[in-house]
Chain A
Amino acid sequence: MGRYFAIRIGRAALTIVLVVTFAFVVLRLSGDPALMILGPEAPPEVLAAFRKAWGLDDPIWFQYLDYFGAIAKGELGRSMRDGRPAIELVLERIPATLALTLPAFFFKVALGIPAGIYAALHRGSGIDRAVMMTAVAGFTVPSFVLALLLVLVFAVQLGWLPSGGQDSWRHAILPIVTLSLGGAAVLARFTRSAMLEVLGQPYIRTASAKGMPWRKVVTSHALPNAAIPTVTILGFMVGTLIAGAVVVESVFAWPGVGRLLVVAVANRDLAVVQCILLLVAMTMVTSNLVVDFLYGFLDPRLRAKGAHA
């Protein structure tokens, strides 16, 4: 069991290193922060001094080693725009993002899972078709389109809700709805197919054959099995809590991590982008690890395999 998780944790660490490396290289090859921050009209000697001050004139492999050396000491760099530590900038944005993504996560689960279960249990019925059509619409429409649509209806036409900003709880409603609908659609489809798969299994027929009422067959035999694949997608959704709202935050001018990321990328504010990506990679990887633990809890067959691995 210990070895099994040691391997998982080793892989997780490798994933984080790869993500950070990729971000590091791509950012440095795709634009000059000096030009972005000081502007193209800045005198060449000012640009040169800026590059020297931030170590941008060193060879890229040197910068890379330097970067990892700093991480080892717990330093994640400073923003090139205002000189504040990048981690500070990121951390102060996290509550705003969670104010959108946590309620959205709750609604995704509360809407998506029951809808998927209901559709599976009433396969082929009018309600099943309606749920699935909504679900397809929900995840094929890009979130920015949905966001704009909601703004058009509820902010512009009806004037019920503000179209952007973060002044009151009412400002959070449209972004949360946008995030919830898409996620609930994905979850509904996923839960439905997981349920259908399980309902077709012989052990469901066995449970019915021993005289168990259908409702009980569903709750005590079908759901625990359907939970196994559903947990995977839930883990993925937890992983996106920090940076899953990039588009929605941009559309609604919500000052969260996602918007910080967009601005930082545009400015090539290297330390800030890298800091966010490191954080995102770490949340993703952690939630994946938790999912792996949960698999062992939900599925005794994996528990046995883990014990021998």
Chain B
Amino acid sequence: MTPLVSIEGLSVAFSGVPVLRGVDLTLQKGEALGLVGESGSGKSVTWLAALGLLPRHAKVSGSVRLDGREILGARAAELDQVRGGRVAMIFQDPASALNPVLTIRKQLCEALALHRDLSGEAVKAEALRLLNLVGIPDAARRLSAYPHEFSGGQVQRIMIAMALAGNPDLLIADEPTTALDATIQAQILELLSTIRREMSMAMVLISHDLGVVAENCDRVSVMYAGRIVEQAPANQLFADPVHPYAQGLIGALPPLDGPRRRLTAIPGTVPDPAHMPDGCAFAPRCALAAEPCGRTSPTLAPIADNRAVACIRAEASRRALLGIAAE
């Protein structure tokens, strides 16, 4: 079966500084994929690059296929059909993601007019239906309101409504709840997963919040310094992380049950993209780093069904995993 999206060797450089260094990723229809990693690891850039939304001075290479069709470097008209129509995106800071001088109606109807064969009253009716769907109270009256008249959570709901306008097959949610209060976060995530189920839409949830990803995704990719370092089904990753960085991220989470334990922090900071260390980018912060880690840059290699890791020390882990599987 052709995957919905398949990304191969996607690289991005801003004025010669590489920020994405060969990302490989596939996404099946209807799948929910989590993308986690620290700020600057390239989670958002991956999808902005895939959809051609990066500024012109960004140098993008590699391949991004949607239903087997290459969209990287596609003509503007073709990309405009993909954006919003096949793949929609919502962003971190909802308050600034909507145009402050245009009404909600105008912004919603624009999206509908671009991707749906609707006109006149039908457009308005559909806009109303979408607002009701995402739970905006008193939607009929509030269609003519401006973004600043809504709360942050409501604006994010409107963003979701706008993203749904084109009936996309994939929704990229780029840190959709980071700027929101904890209670609102839960509501928005609930809304996203309900909609995803009802519309059998695939979703990529970009987040630095592992809890959010664990609850909402089937599969997780962990990114570090512009690369994917581990890929696994969500439950397996959290139970049994293989890459030292993934282990570090999960070790930094407080357990909800069981005895209290000391939380571990990953020492050091993300390397500066302009001065990447030789070999494995994580080696300088890695407790398990050995001499060869500074020389060879590990590639993402499968270690079990549906699992892949980019670490030369993963061999030991792989054997352990296979051993378990053999029992």
Residues on A lying within 8 angstroms of B by beta carbon are: 124, 201-203, 205-214, 220-221, 224-225, 228, 298-301, 304
Contacts and interface: CB of A to CB of B under 8 A. Distances in A.
B220 interface: no
Interface residues of B, number: 36
A225 B162 contact: no
22 contacts: A203-B97, A203-B100, A205-B91, A206-B91, A206-B99, A206-B159, A207-B99, A209-B83, A209-B88, A209-B89, A210-B165, A211-B111, A211-B114, A211-B166, A212-B80, A213-B80, A220-B102, A221-B102, A224-B102, A225-B100, A299-B100, A299-B101
Nearest to A206: B97
Contacts of A211: 79-85, 111, 114-115, 166
Contact of B96 (A124, A203, A209, A213): A203
Interface of B: 48, 51, 53, 57, 76-77, 79-85, 88-89, 91, 93, 96-102, 110-111, 114-115, 146, 148-149, 159, 162-163, 165-166
A210 B101 contact: no
B72 to A, nearest CB: 16
A298 B80 contact: no
B83 A208 contact: yes
B230 to A, nearest CB: 28
A211 B97 CA distance: 15
Contact of A210 (B96, B100, B110, B148): B110
A202 B96 contact: yes
A210 B165 CA distance: 9
Contacts of B89: 209
Contacts of B80: 211-213
Nearest to B91: A202
Contacts of A224: 99, 101-102
Given A206-B159, A224-B102, A304-B149, A213 B76 contact: yes
Given A205-B91, A211-B80, A301-B146, 6 more contacts: A202-B91, A210-B163, A210-B165, A211-B81, A225-B99, A300-B146
B84 A210 contact: yes
A279 B203 CA distance: 64
A210 B88 contact: yes
Contacts of B99: 203, 206-207, 221, 224-225
A128 to B, nearest CB: 12
A297 to B, nearest CB: 10
Nearest to B108: A210
Nearest to B48: A205
Contact of B148 (A202, A212, A213, A300): A300
Given A203-B96, A211-B115, A212-B114, A300 B85 contact: no
Contacts of B77: 213
Nearest to A201: B96
A202 B92 CA distance: 10
Contacts of B48: 205
Contacts of A220: 102, 110
Contacts of A225: 99-101
A210 B149 contact: no
Contacts of B110: 207, 210, 212, 220
Contacts of B165: 210
A201 B79 CA distance: 21
Contacts of A221: 99, 102
